[in-house]
Each structure stands twice: as C-alpha cells, then as structure tokens.
Amino acid sequence: MDESVPEVDVHALEVELGRGATVIDVREPHELVESRIAGVMPMPLDSVPDRVTQLPGDRPVYVVCAIGARSLRAAEFLRQRSIDAINVAGGTKGWVQAGKPYETG
C-alpha cells in the first residue's frame, strides 16, 4: 500500500456510510450488477479525472472497487488533487464476505 493514502476496512466504511459519507465505486458498470453497496456513487476508474468536480473538497471521499487495487489508484489520483480520498481495503468483495448488505441487478 502507498503510505500516503489512508485506508479503512469494510467495517469502518459501514460506520462512515451511516454518517452520510461520500463513497465512490470505481468498478465498471457490468461489475456493479453482481454486487454494489447501497448509497455508493458509481464512478468507473476511467471517468474519475473528468468527474473530480463532482466530489466534495471539504470532507473525506471513500473509494471502493472489487478488492482495493483500482480504488487505491483512484485515491492516489484524487489526493494529488487535494481531495481527502481514503481507500477501502478489501473492496466490495470484502464487504460481501463480511456479510454486509448489498444490492444486485
């Protein structure tokens, strides 16, 4: 892990979601059909540079993908642009494996 990017696990993400955190999912649309965390904003990795202005600059943005690799890249990119991006370790797969609620379809 890049030491410059803070990271949380899926349990901490669940707490932050309950507090109204902004969370983006950088997976591709076809991946979202299998499983997605309710309330998370879809933002495929390739679209992140064009959508930075849609993210808040005054509070953390949590970034999730399937297992944590793409979200780490996105978080690094966002942090270079003064967004307080936090990577979600384990990603959506970790969320599902932990028995957290998710949507499909």
> Is 97 in contact with 25 (CB distance < 8 Å)?
no
Q: Which sequence spans correspond to the domains of the chain?
A: 7-97
Q: Which CATH class is domain 7-97?
A: alpha beta
- C-alpha span between 25 and 32 (Å, rounded): 9
- C-alpha span between 59 and 56 (Å, rounded): 6
pLDDT digits (tens, 9 = 90+) for 2-26: 458 999 999 999 999 999 999 999 9
Across the range 34-49, mean pLDDT stands at 96
> Is 14 in contact with 64 (CB distance < 8 Å)?
no
Coil, helix or strand at residue 54: helix
pTM: 0.94
pLDDT digits (tens, 9 = 90+) for 80-89: 999 999 999 9
pLDDT confidence of 1, banded at 50, 70, 90? very low
